[in-house]
Amino acid sequence: MTDNILARAREMDAADPLAEFRDRFTLPDGVIYLDGNSLGALPKATPARLEEVVRGEWGTGLIRSWNDADWIDMPRHVGGKIAPLLGAWPHEVIVADSTSVNLFKLIAAALEMRPGRKVILSEPGNFPTDIYMIAGLERQGLAERRLAERGSIAGALDEDVSLLLLTHAHYKTGELFDMAALTKAAHDAGALVLWDLSHSGGALPVDLNAAHADFAVGCGYKYLNGGPGAPAYAFVAERHHAQLAQPLTGWFGHNDPFDFTDDYEAAGGIEQLLCGTPPILGLAALEVGVDLVAEMGVDRLHEKSMALSEAFRSCLAAHGVELELVSPEDPERRGSQLSFRHENAYALSQALIARGVIGDFRAPDILRLGFAPAYLRFEDMAEAARHLAEVLASGEWQRPEFNCRAAVT
Amino acid sequence: MTDNILARAREMDAADPLAEFRDRFTLPDGVIYLDGNSLGALPKATPARLEEVVRGEWGTGLIRSWNDADWIDMPRHVGGKIAPLLGAWPHEVIVADSTSVNLFKLIAAALEMRPGRKVILSEPGNFPTDIYMIAGLERQGLAERRLAERGSIAGALDEDVSLLLLTHAHYKTGELFDMAALTKAAHDAGALVLWDLSHSGGALPVDLNAAHADFAVGCGYKYLNGGPGAPAYAFVAERHHAQLAQPLTGWFGHNDPFDFTDDYEAAGGIEQLLCGTPPILGLAALEVGVDLVAEMGVDRLHEKSMALSEAFRSCLAAHGVELELVSPEDPERRGSQLSFRHENAYALSQALIARGVIGDFRAPDILRLGFAPAYLRFEDMAEAARHLAEVLASGEWQRPEFNCRAAVT
């Protein structure tokens, strides 16, 4: 049976229009990498590009590269390349800081655009940093956090809410929000919306402007393959640029950073989201990853990601494995991942890692498997499903070494 | 005469205990780099270290490197290496975000530690981002900016001041503040002090704890040679760790980031200054630069930097050049730079660059020459002085192409 499953998977690989792209990534031998939703794999072009930036632009160009290599423009330049992946205009997206820091800027901006409304509405169990970033503003007396379960978000939108802050694809379950419907509900209540696209940008079609979204942020190191701790991006709809004001008023967000005046005057466009000096190494690596995603195309990536996860489920079923799926059954309603609830999810994830199948654990009881369509094969689905079936059947996950939690999982 | 000057400079190079370190940096042929105070040169060890991090830790280790390569600990680890350069304990310094973002965290923290006092006191003409970062908090109604000229800072410290925010070595003139005296004056007035060490950390001895400083921030890409847009560092004296609270409450500053709870609980120590996911490529490059500074030793670097700038002045004098020095005459009272006022400073800097002597221009009328002691020779001082003398004598700076300002200077 295992042979049949594998043979069918290989047929699917042979018919996969994105199959050739796997070779554009570095993937270690003996590993099936189901964690590209946590840290995307290394594009093969990245080391050479970094070498060029480091030895050439930094080493030889030195300070001149701010002009000659256009470092000064990289946040806009790379942001402009991310924009079409999100249904945004190039001048609406910029690369800056981290997702967390960008959340702060835009939560604070929303509070200022909706005076008298202090509530930031989110859902419990949203990715921690999304909720945590409200805490600082709350302690400063500027914001008030309100959390409402998925089903009751629309009802929690009232005249006190300045901003609805949600993650498009849930980090744990992969469940997608209806971006257009919730954006409309927020607007009807007079609130703004901020979408965290960390688990959807680059993996599935996002259409911020079609949904009339106000703000968005997202991560550079997951589906955009920008490397560990890559800089993040932020989107502000053009209609808000004129009245936008964010509190991290650093010199790179100034209208004329090199005029060296004492008074802050914000740049007019999306550049006002910049704060300190942009991280050039991180931007250069991110650009390589973004270019690859653009070349593959988000629509094709999405098609393949749905096919991969459905193939994985079929293979699990063929092996007779039954696990509680916490992701939506319908692949159109989830991001590029499948999450299963199991009371020993941590040990299961460790036992899989020992077999070279790298997924991850999300507390307290979720085994999360990501299906980055850029570099995974259907063969990997068959093999990963076989390993999971064997781990469960053998009980090897019960070994003590798989039950001792490390710092990061 | 020129031959004599050069011969004497070469004798000084022969006697320089740091001379051998020049070869540890990449420096392009035909360039005398007097802008290491803006972007430090590339350590030769950096490309290989980045290659290792990118190909090995990211490409092969993938997500596992957060544990296996100890990425998770890098902000503390590199911060702990920077600490002794600043007279701080390792657990008092962390690498995070940009200088600007760290300023925001610590200005806001100071406001919270001094309730009822809204004034942030700085000086006009401080580095723009230091002053700009007050603006966002001012617009939020949390802070009030007060600027006092150098001579009247002590008098401007009253019961409304929560924080005195100064740059230790002035970015334009290099003039040093008396850190201990001003810290004491601020404390006597009940205020806290935040020192921006961007132009002193790694170039001259700084002793934060001897001065009883409260907070400090600093830049990774100047004297620490961390590369363009390198992550920055922040210091908080241990005595403040328990009551510290900063508003950028991201998941990496949480007491248990991977517990994925809804409520923010700050880490106990300096880690609470972390916000988003740390930039690993930037941290790796910065570590190489910091290791080099530590190996050379700040005391030796400071001695050499004073000797270099004095040698440059002697060479200028020998060429009969008279320029208005805006840096202090006494090398003990300035950072590792000399700044000259000239109404055509921009054109002068461009004419020098055309000759391979890279200094910079700071608006409106400053020619700023930095003397990074890690990789400059006394011979470079003699040659740079000769070029400057020739540029002035020939009037070549009057050419049109040297009078057209580029974006970054």
Do residue B247 and residue A104 have CB atoms under 8 angstroms apart?
yes
Does B104 participate in catalysis according to the annotation?
no
Is B373:B16 a contact under the CB 8 Å cutoff? Answer: no
Q: How confident is the model at residue B406 (pLDDT cuts 50, 70, 90)?
A: low
- Model pLDDT for residues B29-63, shown as the tens digit of each residue: 999 999 999 999 999 999 999 999 999 999 999 99
Helix (H, G, I), strand (E, B) or coil at B115: coil
Percent of chain A with pLDDT over 90: 95
Confidence of residue B240 (pLDDT cuts 50, 70, 90): very high
Distance from C-alpha of A272 to C-alpha of A346, rounded to nearest angstrom: 42
Is B368 assigned a catalytic role?
yes
* The one catalytic residue among B21, B104, B127, B402: B127
Terminal alpha carbon distance of chain B: 33
Q: Does residue B201 sit in helix, strand or coil?
A: coil
Q: Which of B196, B214, B360, B380 is catalytic?
A: B196
Q: Decide if A178 contacts A58 (C-beta within 8 A).
A: no
Taking all residues of chain A, what is their mean pLDDT, rounded to a whole number? 96
The string of pLDDT tens digits covering residues A59-110 is 999 999 999 999 999 999 999 999 999 999 999 999 999 999 999 999 999 9
pLDDT band (50, 70, 90) for residue A403: confident
Helix, strand, or coil (residue B362)? strand
Q: Are B250 and B264 in contact (CB under 8 A)?
A: no
Cα–Cα distance between B200 and B204 in angstroms, integer? 6
Mean of all residue pLDDT scores within chain B: 96
Of the candidates B58, B133, B363, the beta carbon closest to that of A258 is on: B363
Catalytic residue list contains B346: no
Instruction: Please report the residues numbered 364 through 393 in chain A whose beta carbons come closer than 8 angstroms to any beta carbon of chain B.
Output: none
Return the pLDDT at A406.
56
Nearest to A142 by CA among A150, A152, A134: A134
Q: What pLDDT does residue B319 have?
A: 96
Q: What is the pLDDT of residues A156-181, one digit of tens each?
A: 999 999 999 999 999 999 999 999 99
Q: How far, in Å, CA of B354 to CA of A285, rounded? A: 31
CA distance A107 to A194: 8
What tokens appear for B188 in the block? 């006597």
Q: How many CB atoms lie within 10 A of CB A2?
A: 15
Cα–Cα distance measured from residue B355 to residue B352, given in angstroms and rounded to the nearest whole number: 5
Judge whether B264 is closer than 8 Å to chain A, CB to CB: yes
CB contact under 8 A, B275 and A46: no
Q: Tell me, what's the pLDDT at A409?
A: 41
Query: Are A379 and A9 spatial neighbours (Cβ–Cβ below 8 Å)?
Result: yes
Burial B272-295 (b: 16+ CB within 10 A, else e): bbbbbbbbbbbbbbbbbbbbbbee
* A138-151: average pLDDT: 96
Instruction: Quote the pLDDT of residue B407.
Output: 46
Q: Domains in chain B, start-ordered, CATH in brackets?
A: 2-43+297-403 (3.90.1150.10), 70-295 (3.40.640.10)
pLDDT of residue A139: 93
User: Smallest CA–CA separation between B245 and chain A, in Å?
Assistant: 8
Residues of chain A with Cβ-Cβ distance to B285 below 8 Å are 54, 281
Q: Is the ipTM of this complex over 0.85?
A: yes
The C-alpha atoms of residue B220 and residue B229 are separated, in whole angstroms, by 8
Helix (H) or strand (E) holding A95: strand A93-95
3-state secondary structure of A105: helix
- For residue range B331-363, what is the model confidence (pLDDT) as tens digits? 999 999 999 999 999 999 999 999 999 999 998
The per-residue pLDDT for A35 is 97
- Determine if the peptide bond prior to B90 is cis (ω within 30°): no
Asked if the model's pLDDT at residue B408 lies above 70, the reply is no
Interface A-B, measured as beta-carbon pairs within 8 A, has a size of 301
Q: Give B60's contacts in chain A (Cβ within 8 Å).
A: 26, 28
pLDDT band at A407 (very low <50, low <70, confident <90, very high): very low
pLDDT in tens, B121-140: 999 999 999 999 999 999 99
Mean pLDDT for A257-273 is 93
Check residue B363 and give its pLDDT. 87
Q: Which helix (H) or strand (E) holds B367?
A: strand B366-370
Cα separation, B3 vs B254, whole angstroms: 62
Kindly give the residue spans of alpha helices, DSSP state H, lying in B228-337: 280-296, 298-318
Cα–Cα distance measured from residue B44 to residue A328, given in angstroms and rounded to the nearest whole number: 51
Give the strands of the sheet with B215-218, arranged side by side.
B93-95, B233-236, B215-218, B192-196, B161-167, B119-122, B144-147
Q: What is the pLDDT of residue A92?
A: 98
Tens-place pLDDT, residues B275-285: 999 999 999 99
Is A8 among the residues known to form the active site? no
Strand partners, B95: B233
Chain B residue with Cα closest to A142: B140
Q: Which residues contact A136 (CB under 8 A, 6 or more apart)?
A: A104, B108, B246, B247, B248, B249, B264
Average pLDDT on A44-72 reads 97
pLDDT of B3 reads 84
pLDDT digits (tens, 9 = 90+) for B383-404: 999 999 999 999 999 998 898 7
Distance between CA atoms of A122 and A106, rounded to whole angstroms? 14
Determine whether A389 is exposed, middle or buried from the number of CB atoms within 10 Å of its CB (0-12, 13-18, 19+): middle
Chain B contact present for A17, CB below 8 A: no
Close Cβ partners of A348 (under 8 Å, ≥ 6 residues apart)? A342, A361, A367, A388, A391, A392, A397, A402
The band of A382, judged by pLDDT with boundaries at 50, 70 and 90, is very high
> Is position A127 annotated as part of the catalytic site?
yes
Per residue in A278-325, pLDDT (tens digit) is 999 999 999 999 999 999 999 999 999 999 999 999 999 999 999 999
| A300 φ, ψ (degrees, to nearest 5) | -65, -40
Query: What are the start-end ranges of the E strands in A36-82?
Result: 42-43
pLDDT score of A250 more than 90 = yes
- What confidence score (pLDDT) does residue B409 get? 41
By Cβ distance, the residue of A31, A124, A231 closest to B262 is A124
